[in-house]
Structure 1
Amino acid sequence: MQSKEKVSIIIPCYNDHLYIVRAVESAVAQTWPVKEIILIDDGSNEQTKIKLRSLKKKIDKLISQANEGVSAARNRGIEAASGEYILVLDSDDYFEPDFCKMALDAFRQDEEIKLVTCYSNWFDEKSSKLFRPLGGKVKDALFKNIAMGSSMFRKRNWEEVGGYDEKMLKGFEDWEFYIRLLKSGGQAYVIQKVLFNYRNKANSRNKKANMEKYAIKEYIYNKHADLYKEHFSFFIHEWLKTDKKREAFKQQVMNSLDYKVGNKILKPLRLIGLFKKNRD
């Protein structure tokens, strides 16, 4: 076993006292023995700071900073990392014990691999569902994210592309980082096994990002305009394919009995509202 195969597990945390212990425990439980765990306190409240201090014996480093966002927190943690491989983990999620070992096996088998992700269990208090990221090359990443935000990559590749974009405070920063990671070649590899658990909280960053997604997408498209121009035909094909699916679903809803009955019931009320508006 070589020391260069050390994995640095980077866990940013902001006001997440409820779930941070589970995230750290999943890092400690990784069966790959050569690892370090770095926690970044991104300006958390006192309740969370107390919880983070209680974890000091289970981790290797605790870095504190003012609240600068997840990109800055990840970058500070990776800067302090001594491992060749980086595993980013959000503080409310957790990995299964074999992820690091299986990810490193993938890296060793194919030099083209720059990013390793896996099938994921998306869960909340009431239900769960299987999510299969697509993986692929940079062309595949232009239309949507192809890997989980918590994935593994080499530190040198992170350095080559300049880390996470710290201007991206509203979300999708992992997607944009992966585009840059794969821009010069390589691929994202998907382990076809459920090794990651994503906590789908009501106020999750992912849901907040979806509320701002058009502005964020515009930023990404403009930042990587050269790539979108290079793969214009593919991008438009994927765009229209998605739009077609959306229209088909909309038509299915409009043709449903529930929609037709509801429309008949509401139509008189709309006419009354229109009449009142015109009279005013």
Structure 2
Amino acid sequence: MQEHKNKPLPFISIVIACYNDPNVANAVRSAVGQTYKNKEIIVVNDGSEDKETLEALSSVKENIDILIEQENQGQSIARNNGIKRSSGDFILNLDSDDSFEKSFCHKAIEVMKNDGQVKIVTCKVNRIYNGKNIGIFQPAGGDIKNFLFANAAVGSSMFRKKDWEAIGGYEEKLPILGFEDWELYIQLLKTGGYAYVIPEILFNYQIRENSTTQRIRHLRLEKFKYIILKHKELYKDNFEGFVDNMFERIEKGASERDRIEHQLEYRVGEAVLTPLRKLKSIFKG
């Protein structure tokens, strides 16, 4: 680990939580390759058991400043344990199958240093599926109002350790996995400040069929309900926006049902009419 005491540059801790993902080696290399050098790399092996992941970790162990081995406890606990061991003034979470462009830390820390109101730094995202770029995504960023009804920052973003400490870290008892990032950002921003979006593509996000996000997509409303009930005073204070969002969701759901029903009716109609048309053509002949 690099010595950071008495140095003018802020110290960054890059925390990578990993569970059965051999891509973790690429994530570590992404952290190593950052042009910002005053940093440490912490990897939390959250009970990985598969041979490929263990070999991947072994291949980059000399680049890891702190390796934490624990039984599988979930991403929130893994991240919190990594941050607890960190020495950085700033924390950058990095999922084990994703990567940052080499200038992200340098650009993010400049934003943080120049504006104390910035609590989260994120960026534009390159979305990758099966090794192919499938589009660019730009988070909305902004203040708490932009985070009330959807996450407006990337899960792998930078924030201050003191802010993480002030809110007690990631929620470790979320009944449904996959919403810990959004809930953390709500906690960070509910007392003020905002998330800044660097207008550059500096993050590469891997979309995987078996990822947590894919597995829990159908539970989105349940997760949203949990967020609302946990922060009900916040939603009461923004009641009109809450009502508008609920009606938008209802209308969107109704439109989707109409579309599906129309497609189903069409398919049933075609299934019935096709043999009749064939019979008609036979008798005509």
**TM-score bin, normalised by smaller chain:** 0.7 to 0.9
* Corresponding residue of 2:179: 172
* Corresponding residue of 1:39: 43
| Among 141, 144, 149, the residue aligned to 2:147 | 141
Give unpaired runs (5+ residues) of structure 2. Answer: 1-5, 275-285
CA contact (8 A) 1:23 1:90 kept: yes
Secondary structure of the residue that 1:162 maps to in structure 2? coil
* Corresponding residue of 2:204: 197
1:226 aligns with 2:230: no
Amino acid at match of 1:22: N
1:6 aligns with 2:11: yes
**Greater Rg by CA:** 2
* Corresponding residue of 1:29: 33
| Among 185, 193, 210, the residue aligned to 2:192 | 185
CA contact (8 A) 1:4 1:83 kept: no
CA contact (8 A) 1:170 1:212 kept: no
* Corresponding residue of 1:95: 100
CA contact (8 A) 1:171 1:205 kept: yes
| Among 12, 20, 24, the residue aligned to 1:15 | 20
Give unpaired runs (5+ residues) of structure 1. Answer: 270-280
Q: TM-score, normalised by structure 2?
A: 0.86
CA contact (8 A) 1:172 1:209 kept: no
* Same amino acid, percent of matched pairs: 43
Q: Aligned partners of 2:256, 2:50: CA distance in 1, in Å? A: 47
Q: Summarize the Cα distance change of 1:202–1:112 in structure 2 as closer, same or farther, 3 Å threshold.
A: same
Q: Aligned partners of 1:238, 1:176: CA distance in 2, in Å? A: 18
Amino acid at match of 1:98: S
- Cα deviation for residue 232 of structure 1 reads 1.1
- Cα deviation for residue 61 of structure 1 reads 0.8
1:72 aligns with 2:88: no
Q: Aligned partners of 1:193, 1:84: CA distance in 2, in Å? A: 24
* Corresponding residue of 2:161: 155
Q: Aligned partners of 1:122, 1:159: CA distance in 2, in Å? A: 31
| Paired residue total | 266
* Corresponding residue of 2:224: 217
Amino acid at match of 2:120: L
CA contact (8 A) 2:16 2:79 kept: yes
Q: Summarize the Cα distance change of 1:105–1:235 in structure 2 as closer, same or farther, 3 Å threshold.
A: same
Amino acid at match of 1:186: G
Cα RMSD after superposing both structures: 2.2
Query: What are the superposed Cα offsets for residues 165-193 of structure 1, whole Å, 9 maximum, x if unpaired?
Result: 11125211100111001111100111111
